Structure 1
Amino acid sequence: MAASFRRVLLGAFAVLPMLGALPATVLAAAPDATTARDFIKQSGDQLVSIVNGPGSNQAKSAKLRALVDRIVAVDQIGRFVLGRYWRVATPAQQQEYLHLFHQTLAYNITNQIRAYKGVTFAVDGAKPGPEGQMVATTVTRPGQSPADVQWVVDTVGGAPRIVDVVVEGTSLRITERSDYSSVINDHGGEVSALLDAMKQQISRIAAG
């Protein structure tokens, strides 16, 4: 079940570069445990309300994309996922990559609406971690065993944001970075190969 659930969450939060690489303007102290816990509780309640509420899948997808843009540090996670290749990429490639990263996220959210139907979300607690507050939750879907999910919350741009998701001990942003690095390494270190692969993935998803 854990592997299946990780794939679902990767679709929804295909989820910060090392702190030293971040612009100084976005660095701030991590939120305290209460702030992080309340942030995840509110975010989870909003997600569940959208997924289980009325409306078409198209309308729900638009609401979910807007929610993710508010609660997830998408650009910072995208840079982390690209890893050392962020510095190798040209400015134009960096811009294109982040655009594609956002697109991939948006399409995957749309694809995962049905997988989330009936989901419930309970916040269990929070504790400091190496990269922010680790907020522990239990996420349950109909017909599935409960999954232990930790949401890593840090301060980005002056507000709490999700910077990683850890499902059954596996970091989703690290998993995604490994996958992206493999594509680039298999093509002689060319970032353009990853961009092409992302475009193909988006085209496949869009085609249904």
Structure 2
Amino acid sequence: MYFRRFILGAAMAAPMLAMMAGAAQALTTDQAKSFIQDSGNKLVAIVNGNASRADKATQLRNLVDQIVEVDQIGDYVLGRYVNVATPAQKQQFQTLFHQLLSYNITYQIKAYEGVSFTVNGATPQGNDVLVDTTVTAPGKAPADVGWVVEEKAGQPKIIDVIVAGTSLRITTRNDYAGVITDHGGQVSALLSAMQNQITKISSAQ
């Protein structure tokens, strides 16, 4: 669970939107692989660097903002409730979603010091490209992680992360929908749950 949170936060979660792709253009597999290799190198350099934990967290948050379509992912995971939420609730949701990614990143830094990252191959998926990688951390079994990359406004962006064959954006959407459904369809219940999660994570740091 913690590994998934780290991956989602650092690239994802998280971590992403064929239905929201807009004027997306097709990437080549080489472009997608190069982007993920470069992004992975930057992530590993930050996590394994000598900076303080607070500085690493700041650097990782900045990296996420550069390589991940966070706002679109947020809309995706809110799912059908994006049409139910009020404008104020949508804004609050995006704020909390960004905060959760940031807190999850900070929470997982220490656990993944010594991480390594290898790009294996890439497969086209319509206008997207799935880049397969292997992520290894000390004391943990190597994990196969897939990164779904899409071109957005002329730049490659991560729009989903696949861990153990499971899409993290779909898993998160289902989890969020379950919270709302369990509370009579009230988006406010999800917002409260997200705020409680942020409070819990921040108090443990």
Q: Does 1:72 align with 2:68?
A: yes
Q: Paired residues, what number?
A: 202
Structure 2 partner of 1:61? 57
Q: Is the 8 A contact 1:122 1:139 kept in 2?
A: yes
Matched AA of 1:175: T
SS at structure 2 position matched to 1:6: helix
Please show how residues 2-151 of structure 1 align to structure 2 within 5 Å.
Answer: 5-12=3-10, 13=12, 14-19=14-19, 21=20, 24=22, 27-130=23-126, 132-151=128-147
2:184 to 162, 184, 188: 188
2:172 to 147, 159, 176: 176
Percent identity, aligned pairs only, is 55
1:127 offset after TM fit, Å?
Answer: 1.0
Matched AA of 2:148: V
Paired with 2:17 and 2:175, the residues of 1 have a C-alpha distance of 16
SS at structure 2 position matched to 1:111: helix
Q: Is the 8 A contact 2:33 2:119 kept in 1?
A: yes
With normalisation by structure 2, the TM-score equals 0.93
1:45 offset after TM fit, Å?
Answer: 0.2
SS at structure 1 position matched to 2:114: coil
SS at structure 2 position matched to 1:101: helix
With normalisation by structure 1, the TM-score equals 0.92
Root-mean-square deviation (CA, aligned residues, Å) is 1.5
Paired with 1:128 and 1:192, the residues of 2 have a C-alpha distance of 38
Paired with 1:83 and 1:9, the residues of 2 have a C-alpha distance of 21
Runs (4 or more) in structure 1 with deviation over 3 Å come to none
Paired with 2:155 and 2:182, the residues of 1 have a C-alpha distance of 38
1:200 offset after TM fit, Å?
Answer: 1.0
Paired with 1:142 and 1:194, the residues of 2 have a C-alpha distance of 35
Paired with 1:35 and 1:11, the residues of 2 have a C-alpha distance of 23
Distance 1:5 1:131, change over 3 A: farther
1:8 offset after TM fit, Å?
Answer: 3.3
